[in-house]
Structure 1
Amino acid sequence: MLYSDPHEFRPERFLTTNKDVDVKGQHFELIPFGAGRRICPGISFSLQLMQITLATLLHGFDIVTKDGGPVDMVEQSGLTTIKASPLEVILTPRLSTEAFSQN
């Protein structure tokens, strides 16, 4: 088991565990971007864009599962790791629509 308590939400565990991962194609965590001479030229941009997108979603919406229960974290194995069951959530805006008006 990679973490002693994998089902507990502890985001601080990621602050130090992957601090030495670079984007030069030497780490398997970033394999979707390729490696070596064929590495994706937009890897740095895409990693930054994903952080901004995730932060915007978390800031702008309350996210709950359809039944209000915990998220099923069971995974399927393969070339990449995917969820065994689809993630079905309800996004509720945190701000009123007037906050986004352009008047």
Structure 2
Amino acid sequence: MGESLAPYLAGGHREFERPIVVDTSKRIRPMVFPSGIKVIENINRHTIEFYDLNRDPSEKRNLIDELGPESRSHVAAMRSFFGAHRLRRSGYTPPTRAF
């Protein structure tokens, strides 16, 4: 699971083979797919955003309502990833910070 981001952070260009994910304490789940698609789910607000970073790198146009099946498959993949990798411990509630 893991792929180094060091070459990219050092200013180089790198083609990624797997999605990049971030788990935040604000219960926001972003995932960037190698194709340039970015999906963001905000658990607290019950919202989903869908961007094509190749065409819209500034994330100005949320395409979630325009793409139909394509967006649903990306959202399902993101939810599957976070579902498979969440901490499951009796009595555990994920911490969140109010901002």
Give the TM-score of the pair, scaled to structure 1.
0.25
Which structure carries more helix by proportion? 1
TM superposition score normalised by structure 2: 0.25
Which has the larger Rg? Answer: 1
